[in-house]
Chains A and B, each alone.
Chain A
Amino acid sequence: MTNPLYQKDIISIADLSRSELELIVATAKKLKHQPQPELLKNKIVASCFFEASTRTRLSFETAVQRLGGSVIGFDSGGNTSLAQKGETLSDSVKVISSYADGFFMRHPQEGAARLAAEFASIPVINGGDGSNQHPTQTLLDLFTIYETQQQLEGLNIAFVGDLKYGRTVHSLAQALSLFNCNFFFIAPSALAMPDYILEELDDAGIKYSLHSSIEEVIADLDILYMTRVQKERFDETEYQHLKSAFVLNGSMLENVRDNLKILHPLPRIDEITTDVDITPYAYYFQQAENGVYARQALLALVLTNFFQEQA
């Protein structure tokens, strides 16, 4: 029997069922505690960054090498024949398919990974397609939430900051809605969660509420997911005013649950002051580290049947 993700493409969080999400999280946990340095021995994984993204690329390439696989690839669209000679993505993908056993890609256009998967004969993992999806970020977030709370079911989770343009929070909220979590959305009204996401949550029967400051809800939270409010979107006075409501500092953490963990997709600018870093609630650097395990889990499941044979 093969695992349900074997040889599958990982394009969009919405394609994954609750049990597939659970499988990925459980596999990430196993790999974190029991490294498998030979799992991808003799396998070649292509790392195709048609747009630069240092963190995601390093995390993926580390994941491949930690599993004993080798990496080929390129790290920005400008160096590829695609950009220079006008080759279509579909042609590039056919060629890459003949070299590697699987690939992950980042591309500046929405839908690129879905399209690549249609032309590829090997599994494709989406490392971000324009403003659309970034499923491996969501998976590492899910793994981190699971790791810190020992479950995903019924948690109280606040999202803070830019909830309008932040694809990270959109797809994390969509994934967590399969686990009956309660959401608190904390954002300036100009950056509020878009209606279409709220409608989806309504349809799924998910409980959520909207707030204008972190303090309103912090005492009830299991997870506080911070994101950056981009300065460029506001004029200076407006920004200074907003900042105070959407910045987390150490003094706000006096009256919180013991199990509270603060997450952030990084890079952080100034929305979490550094005095938070030394509290037991800060977990964003561990979260970044977990990116490697979540990506290892995907590679292991998509490219091998190891965990199925173990079970």
Chain B
Amino acid sequence: MKKKLEVQAIENGSVIDHIAAGQGVKILKFFQLTDTKQKITIGLNLPTGGSQTKDLIKIENTQITDAQANQLALFAPDATINLIENYDVVKKFKVHLPESISGVLACPNSNCISHSEPVDSQFYIRQKQQIKLKCHYCEKSFATSFFKELD
């Protein structure tokens, strides 16, 4: 028996599942997932079965690549990407933290030179207890919660 989907089914596309509740909207903004004409449906604070909740994003007719998926790991380390073809999950994979990320996030240090010059931002990613991003330019390290999207 097919389970009832929490969010409307799509014929082809990608489902980003198991996003920690509260991070879904951030992810849409940071990665400019809404820069598309394709239909996007989002579910926020969906029940997971246990006592927890999750966010979920579905994008029609778009295949999320490994590289894109790994960037999502910064804000949703437990996310799963499901590629949907003909209403079925044809591929499912977990995200992995990338070593670096460029051109997506603005440096939280307002005095960083990257803001006023024609360069892409760039961060090196380390994970110990916490994920930290170190700016290629100002060399300061930040937890993901310090970031705002690029203007």
Enumerate chain A interface residues (CB-CB to B < 8 A): 12, 14, 88-90, 107-112, 114-115, 118, 129-133, 196, 199
**Cβ contact within 8 Å between A130 and B118:** no
Asked whether A133 and B117 contact (CB < 8 A) given A109-B112, A110-B109, the answer is no
**Cβ contact within 8 Å between B112 and A111:** yes
List, in ascending order, chain A residues with CB within 8 A of B140's CB: 110, 132
Does B53 touch A at the CB level, under 8 Å? Answer: no
Contacting residue for A132 out of B114, B117, B138, CB 8 A? B138
List, in ascending order, chain B residues with CB within 8 A of A115's CB: 113-114, 117, 119, 137
Between-chain CB contacts (< 8 Å), 24 pairs? A12-B139, A14-B139, A88-B117, A90-B119, A107-B113, A108-B111, A109-B111, A109-B112, A109-B116, A109-B138, A110-B112, A110-B138, A110-B139, A111-B113, A111-B114, A111-B136, A111-B139, A114-B137, A118-B119, A130-B111, A131-B111, A132-B138, A133-B139, A196-B141
Which A-B residue pairs are the 9 nearest by beta carbons? Answer: A111-B137, A110-B138, A111-B113, A111-B138, A109-B113, A112-B113, A115-B113, A90-B117, A114-B137
Residue in B closest to A110 when the chains form the complex, CB atoms: B138
Minimum CB–CB distance from A193 to chain B (whole Å) comes to: 16
| Proximity bits, B99-120, A CB within 8 Å = 1, else 0 | 0000000000101111011110
CA distance A89 to B136 in the complex (A): 17
Does B95 touch A at the CB level, under 8 Å? Answer: no
**Cβ contact within 8 Å between B141 and A89:** no
**Cβ contact within 8 Å between A111 and B118:** no
CA distance A289 to B116 in the complex (A): 36
Minimum CB–CB distance from A204 to chain B (whole Å) comes to: 14
| Proximity bits, B115-132, A CB within 8 Å = 1, else 0 | 011110000000010000
List, in ascending order, chain B residues with CB within 8 A of A133's CB: 139
Minimum CB–CB distance from B142 to chain A (whole Å) comes to: 11
| Proximity bits, B14-33, A CB within 8 Å = 1, else 0 | 00000000000000000000
Contacting residue for B135 out of A14, A108, A111, A112, CB 8 A? A111
Residue in B closest to A86 when the chains form the complex, CB atoms: B116
List, in ascending order, chain A residues with CB within 8 A of B109's CB: 110
Interface of B is mostly: loop
Minimum CB–CB distance from B133 to chain A (whole Å) comes to: 13
Find the residue from B112, B113, B118, B136 having the highest chain A CB count within 10 A. B113
Find the residue from A12, A108, A111, A199 having the highest chain B CB count within 10 A. A111
List, in ascending order, chain A residues with CB within 8 A of B128's CB: 199
CA distance A92 to B98 in the complex (A): 34
Contacting residue for A89 out of B111, B112, B117, B135, CB 8 A? B117
Residue in B closest to A130 when the chains form the complex, CB atoms: B111
CA distance A309 to B93 in the complex (A): 56
**Cβ contact within 8 Å between A110 and B141:** no
Minimum CB–CB distance from B114 to chain A (whole Å) comes to: 6
Q: 15 other contacts beyond A90-B119, A110-B112, with CB at 8 A cut-off?
A: A14-B139, A89-B113, A89-B117, A90-B117, A107-B113, A109-B138, A110-B109, A111-B113, A111-B137, A111-B139, A115-B113, A115-B137, A118-B119, A129-B138, A133-B139
List, in ascending order, chain A residues with CB within 8 A of B137's CB: 110-111, 114-115
CA distance A112 to B137 in the complex (A): 7
List, in ascending order, chain A residues with CB within 8 A of B117's CB: 88-90, 115
**Cβ contact within 8 Å between B118 and A110:** no
Find the residue from B114, B128, B138 having the highest chain A CB count within 10 A. B138
Minimum CB–CB distance from A3 to chain B (whole Å) comes to: 26
List, in ascending order, chain B residues with CB within 8 A of A88's CB: 116-118
Minimum CB–CB distance from A84 to chain B (whole Å) comes to: 15
List, in ascending order, chain A residues with CB within 8 A of B139's CB: 12, 14, 110-111, 114, 132-133
